[in-house]
Each structure stands twice: as structure tokens, then as C-alpha cells.
Structure 1
Amino acid sequence: MDFTNEVKSAIEPLVQDISALCQIDSVEGEPKPGMPFGEGPAKALAAALAMGERMGFRTENFDNYVGHIEFGDGDEMIGILGHLDVVPAGDGWDRDPWGGQIEGGRIWGRGTLDDKGPLLTCLYAMKILKDLNVPLKRRIRLILGTNEETNWGCMDYYLHQVKPEMPVAAFSPDSEFPVTFAELGMLQYTLTRKIDEVINIEGGSAFNSVPSSAKVILPEALEAEVRQAVSNSKDPSIYQINVDGGKLQLEVTGIGVHAKDVHEGRNAISYMMDVLGKVSVTGQLKEVVDFYNAHFGTTVFGEKMGISASDEISDHLTLNIGKIQAVDGKLTIYCDSRIPVSIKVDDIENAVKQKIQGTGYTYELASKENPLYVEKDSELVSTLMEAYRKVTGDMESQPMVSGGATYSRTISNCVAFGCLLPDQIDTMHQANESLEIDKLEIWLKVMVEAIYQLAK
């Protein structure tokens, strides 16, 4: 079917709804009664469900853990799994990360790409099919999570407490086009040690983001050493030294990207530690610096931790240090690994535990996800590839393997599908996250075609 006219008519209201939804700061917060992940995610869920109700869909909110929007009839169902929570804004923005600003042919704000923009694109695709009364044999259900960026407690609640009907096929618009048929395993954990000295060090904001900034406060007496170490570093321009009141503050500017693309970023914490390793810091700060450089350094493939691994399907294991902080007598390092599909996540976890024995650090698991693998020639992957190719004419792009972890791995017969196009700038988890409005028409056409093909 040809949905061109309906897609064009939908772009302006879609832009406005994405802008509105991205004005809600839905970073996970402190739990409150009836708000398991804080006010922001609950507010975003209510707003998205209200949009679905406005369009005439059936909606349901499951205790502010998760919601869904559904239409159609039939014994079978197609699922679309997205999320409304976002990572913290971080530093380096030129615009208000919660402004939803529409300017320069873009929508600016945290969540425009990950995952509010793609999720609402799917909602509008459903609306087009509904408004045209397109005959479908399967129902369509858009599932809205609120805790994807941390520990997926929303989906755990949905699957084990709500115990919903399972779709016969599903996708998650939380990655890239064309189709991701395999996702690496994921292991997120913290390494914590006690400290009884004042250590003023911080950097990063989340497990799954490469830190774009880090800083440490040192005695002013170390100024000459710090300046020399910075001068001898690979890129002195990323360091800033400020001296005031007998203290020296060293700030580092990195390149923030999603942890799945860690090799494309520059970890501000790691480059800060690299310089500190060449300075005569003392006490427990020296112990922290020595531990960090011995176990992580500026490497990104887990070599120093002793967990380097790869396979033919999914390439290298990666290791990102997403955050470091020293508060309340504890220093904590936040670690995120993406693990090749043929390697057991438990084996990597055991290797990490063994590596840190005797170091004074305590291991605590934050999240562990097994890999996803769906055959490239399966009906689901083939159908989605056909929809993508029909709309875009791109016959060169092939099904992909990703280090990203999407809801696709929570249910069977589900893969990640869109929405980032091969020629589209990826600013997920970065400063100035934004969505080019002229890409929305392609997004929407692909999603209408894909949903139609899966449900007809």
C-alpha cells in the first residue's frame, strides 16, 4: 500500500509531540509512592499514554512501571517495545536538554533519538494504519518502558507481575536501521572500596555512557608536575588546570558516546587517570589511580582486566568506565561490558571477580543480560529488511550485530529495528542530542510499512 500522503500530513504533529515529550526530564529518580522510578519517568509515561488515548487507542498503565497502547483485533499480536526514560543530560549542551527546541531543521533534547522520537514515530505509524482502516489480522501493541537505561525493572515487572500476552513477533525501535539480528551480552557492575581520606574526584553519569567530563582536586604543590604531565600527554588540549586557594583543579573533556560505541569516544576519567599516574599523588588517591591504570587504563577492550575476547559474529568485548565518585567514605567505579554472543556472560563475570581478589575492591552486580541472536534469514528479520529496503531503496546495508542492549532480548522472536539511518548523525547519550526533522518522513514510512507487513 502507498502511505505517502498520510505520512506527510503526520510529520508536523509528530514533531510537536516529540518536542513535548522531550521537555519532560525522565531520568530515573528516587522512588516515590506509586512512582517506582521517580516523578520524571511516571510523568513521561502519563504523557505518552495520553497521546495514545487522544488518537483513539486502548491504553493501560501498570502501576507506573510500564504501559501499553494497543489497537486492532485478532488472536495474535505484534509487539513494539520502546522506553521513555533517558540518561542524564550531562555537560556540554548548547541548548536546554529539556527544552524540546525546534530549530535549524532539528528537534533538540535528551530523548529525541533514544528513545522518545522513535517510540512516537511508531505510535504515529499505528495511527496512520488505524485512520485508514487498513485490514490487519494481528493486533498492534506499543509497550512503553520507564527503566531501560538502568536495570530494566519495568520489564521485569511487566513480564513477571503483569504477565501479559506475548506477541508472536516484535521489534524495538531503539537502535539503528536496517535490522539488528544479534546483540552482545551485557554486564554492568560496580567496584567499591572504603576510603577514610578526602578524595575529590568525579566523572561520568551512567554505566552506559562514555564520560565527557571528569575532574579532580589536588594540592597546589603539584602544579608543576601536573602541567608537565599534561604537556607530555597525547592531547594536552583536553585538560584544563585551575589553581585557587591552595588547591589545583584538573578538568578533562572527553568525547561522550553510548557505551556500545566506546571505541568511538574518549573517556574523560581514563585520560584523567593517565595524567594522575605520572604525578606524585599520595595516600589513598594514589592507590585508586594505580588500581585504575593497572585494571583499565585508556584501553576499551578489557585487556588490562584480563577479559579481552572476540568472535566472528560480534567482534570484540568492550569495557567502559561510565562513572567514578567518592562519597560517604566509599569510592565507586561503574563498569559496563558488552560481550560477544558466543561467550557466556557468567564466565566474564567470574573472571572480573577473580581479577580483583585481594585488591580491596568489592564487586556488586548491577545488571546482567544474555546476548540476543535471531537467524538472519528468519521470517522476522527478512520481513523487516524488506520493509526497510522498499522504502529507502538501500540494497547494500545488511542485518547487523550491535553492542547495544535493547528490550528485544526480554522476549522471544524480537529484534531491534531502527530508527537511526545509516547516514544519520548519532548523538544518543551525547551532548546536543537531536533529531533531523527531514529524517522523520523516512522513519515513519519505514515503520508504517514494517508494522503493516507484520500484522496484515
Structure 2
Amino acid sequence: MNDPRWASIDAFAEQNRDNILRDITRLVAVPSVEGTPEPGAPFGAGPRAALDKALEIAAELGLETYNAEGYIGWAQTGPIAGGQKYLATITHTDVVPEGNGWDADPYTVRVRDGWLLGRGVSDDKGPGILCLYALKYLKDSGIKLKYPVRALLGTNEETNMHDVDYYAAHYPMPAFCFTPDAEFPVCNGEKGGFNGEIVSPRLENGVILDFQGGVARNAVPDRAFCTVRVAPDAIECTEGVTKEAGENGATVLRGQGKSGHAAMPAGTVNAISLLVDCLLHNHIGTEAEQAYLRVLQKLHAATDGSAVGIAADDGLFDPLTIIGGTIGQEDGVIRQSFDCRYPTNTDPEKMTAALEQVCGTAAHLENLTSRVPFYIAADSPAIQTLINTYNEVTGEQQTPFTMGGGTYARHFPYAVSFGPEHTDVAIPAFAGPMHGANEGAPFEKLIEALKIYILALLRLQDVEL
């Protein structure tokens, strides 16, 4: 590394290892799944408490802090005058529900073989702490900054991103922003998103008494159960499904799969799909119930959308993905949510038409929402600054990439996602991915990411924005 600032950056990161681990542990300890809105807590008490904790940590680091009515907060290196251009990072303090399959308390950070385990260590509380320490370096170094730096801390990324909508409506946007909420090296494009529910008609006098599964629309569920009005000895369990006696002669079927992020479904096993296959294998259900189950079976049959006629690949992004995230039954109506990430050569209208054809009269679509694909040219100056910094620090020769995940970047006029995940780092058996059980992050890679972020923010000072 030839940059004369590197020795100071490296020393700062190494000296703060224990402090960084301490503060990640403090932030992860605050459960922050979206909840019921309250005064000053528009996304519930948990996200507000996590925001308060992050700002408390930032103040301890000597940074200026601000809380924007509980929607979003930030720390910054110093005053930002009206109309002044500034740089920003943005991470989020909210998390997806803990789900099932954890080996220990999800909100107590554990360290095992160099990995941090806990809900949010990688998505996105660990990276949030890194940004605060990057700003601490910039402030403590005394370097005069052409562009002040603000570390934004969101509270609603995992569901609707209304936090950043609020920010955009009330505050000037940064000249350039990166979000450490994805993979390295630099993601300069994100697929579009298409979400909704496949809803059954009211199933009168049904055999399926209850069907529940999943913890979030944007996560592949690893557990689900259904209760059916059939005796246990009349059911043959299929792969991944177990049975137990329920009340009044009913049977409870449980599916055990493997969870993961909706944008990266390869290697996951959807527990809802296991139950649907089992029910159809045993011919369980009225005619209307089985017709609805056959629609769900097509949804779950292939995560590339080919089974429901929406497969798409534009050569710019990875191919389309679609998963069923949650299922619930109430008053005889079953609702299966889906999460689709799509490239540029299709659109929600085409996909809606295809899904409606699959549904026929057995089901219908409700609560459809969408967002368009997002892309910024890889040769733009700020992006080149980030990719060059990453390659110099790591010794790699990577290029920007596009992905299926959706981040805050699409909400800003000039922004990308920038680490700290590494797709080439194998996740050990005791750890899990973002949104999964035993969510893990390699601590050495987090420390390396801090160094990359500091150097990148310094080099961005020389870019005309």
C-alpha cells in the first residue's frame, strides 16, 4: 500500500479492535425488529431503542449526533453548512426477526473461531459501528475535509425504507453516499423488486385447519407447520416433514428447511414448499384446497421463476429470483407472500399477467408492490475511487457488480453499496448468512473493511462531486 496515510489508518483500526467488538455487542443486544408505531418511534420501540444506542455510541466517540424524530439519525465529523456538499454512509439499526434454529440467544454476540455470531453482526449493525469508527478517525486525525462526512443510521431498511424517504423529504441529500449493506467490492446496480401475496378463496369446510410459516417476506423460511383434519396414520411424511397427533384426531405437520436471504436463495430449502409437497403427495384437502396448493407448488418449484412463467435474464444482472416468504391462514383464507428480484428485461405488468394465469380460479393476487431496477455506470469517478481503494488494500483485481438485493443506495441520486460481505469466504457450519439463524461475520474482514472505508472516504475528498 503506497498511500502515505495507510500506516495511520492501519494503526487506528488495530488499536480499536476491542472497542469495536464491544460496541457491536452493545448494539446487537438491542432487539430491533419493526413493531407498532409509537410517539417518537414510527417503526416501533425496538428500532428506536437501537437508534438511541447507536447515537449514544457515536457521542462517546466524540461525534456530533442528531435524531430526526425517530425516523433516522446520524453522526457526523463536524458542522455541515446549508448548501454544503457532503459525503455520507448509511447503515441500518433495524433487523429481521430472529427466526428459528439459533444455537444461542440471537442478541448476545458470541465469538467463535474468529467469527461474530448474532442477529445484525453483518446486517447491518456491525457495519454501522464500522462507519462510526471511520468518522472517529477522520475527526481525530485533524484532516481538513473538503466534504464533511455524515454516517446515517436508518431504522426501517428491512421492510419499507420509509426512514430514508423521510430523510429525503426533510434534509438535503449527500453528493455521494455508500451503504455497507452488501458484498464487496462495489455493487453499482440492484435488481427491481416485485412483491405480493397469492391468496386463496375462502375455503369452506376445509381439511386444512391452519397453515403458518416464515418470519419475513424477504427470507426463505426454515420452519412451517400446518394442521389438517386427517388422522396421523393416514399420512405418509415426505422429505423434511414430520407429523404429530393434534387435537380431536387432527395431525400437525412440520416442515424443516434451511433459511437464507430472498435475494440469494441458492442452497436454501423452503419449509413451506416441503409441506405443500407433502399435502399434495397425500391428496389432502378439498378440491378447492388442492387447487390452491398446486398454485403454491408451482411458485416454490423453482427459484428462477421458470415454473410460473416469469424467468428472465438480461445479461447485466443475475437472473430473476422468486421465493415464498411467509404463509398464514385466517378465517379460512390462506395467504402466501412472495419476494421477486428481477432484471431489466421484464416488468411487474408481465409478471402479474403470468402469475394470474397460474392462479386461474384457484387463487388471486393481492397487495402487489414493485420497485424498478437501479444502475449507475461503473466508470463514474466515485465508484472508481471505491473499487480502486478496495483492490489496493486487498491486492485483488475486482470489478463492480450488480445484485438482487435491495439496499438504501437506490434511494439516493448518487450511491452504491460497498461491502463488507465477501462471497468468496465460506461460511462455517456453526454460522449462518444474513437473515438466517446464527448470522455470522468474520471479525478480521470487518477490521479490514474499516480500513477500506477510512481510506475511501479520504480519497473521495479529491473527487469533484
Q: Scaled by the length of structure 1, what TM-score is found?
A: 0.92
1:434 to 430, 433, 440: 440
Structure 1 segment 211-230 matched on structure 2, within 5 A:
211-221=221-231, 223-227=233-237, 230=238
- Matched AA of 1:122: C
Structure 1 segment 38-437 matched on structure 2, within 5 A:
38-72=44-78, 75-160=84-169, 162=170, 164-193=171-200, 194-196=202-204, 197=206, 199-221=209-231, 223-227=233-237, 230=238, 236=239, 238-243=240-245, 246-283=249-286, 284-293=288-297, 295-349=298-352, 351-353=354-356, 356=359, 358-365=361-368, 367-395=369-397, 397-424=398-425, 425=427, 427-437=433-443
- CA-to-aligned-CA distance 1:395-452 (integer Å, 9 cap, x gap): 2x32111100000000111011001124333610110012222222211111111111
Q: 3-state DSSP class of the match of 2:344?
A: coil
Q: 3-state DSSP class of the match of 1:138?
A: coil
Task: Return the offset for 1:103.
Answer: 4.5
- Matched AA of 1:168: A
What is the distance in 2 between the residues matched to 1:24 and 1:166?
29
Query: Retained in 1: the 8 A contact 2:420–2:446?
Result: no
Task: Return the offset for 1:239.
Answer: 2.3
Aligned pair in 2 of structure 1 residues 173, 345: CA closer, same or farther (>3 Å)?
A: farther
Task: Return the offset for 1:225.
Answer: 3.9
Q: 3-state DSSP class of the match of 1:322?
A: strand
What is the distance in 1 between the residues matched to 2:317 and 2:90?
23
What is the distance in 2 between the residues matched to 1:156 and 1:355?
35
What is the distance in 1 between the residues matched to 2:347 and 2:460?
32
Query: Retained in 1: the 8 A contact 2:64–2:76?
Result: yes
Aligned pair in 2 of structure 1 residues 19, 242: CA closer, same or farther (>3 Å)?
A: same
- Unpaired runs of at least 5, structure 2: none
- Matched AA of 1:185: G
Q: 3-state DSSP class of the match of 2:54?
A: helix
Please identify, of 302-311 and 16-25, the stretch whose mean Cα deviation from structure 2 is larger. 302-311
- Unpaired runs of at least 5, structure 1: 231-235
CA RMSD of aligned residues (A): 2.0
Query: Retained in 1: the 8 A contact 2:292–2:362?
Result: no
Query: Retained in 2: the 8 A contact 1:185–1:345?
Result: no
Query: Retained in 2: the 8 A contact 1:253–1:268?
Result: yes
- Matched AA of 1:388: Y
Runs in 1 of length 4+ with deviation above 6 angstroms?
A: none
What is the distance in 1 between the residues matched to 2:295 and 2:191?
27
- CA-to-aligned-CA distance 1:199-227 (integer Å, 9 cap, x gap): 21111111110111111122443634423
Residue correspondences, number = 443
What is the distance in 2 between the residues matched to 1:159 and 1:166?
6
What is the distance in 1 between the residues matched to 2:413 and 2:167?
15
Query: Retained in 2: the 8 A contact 1:353–1:363?
Result: no
Partner of 1:10: 16
Task: Return the offset for 1:360.
Answer: 4.1
Q: Scaled by the length of structure 2, what TM-score is found?
A: 0.90
- Matched AA of 1:291: V
Q: 3-state DSSP class of the match of 1:447?
A: helix
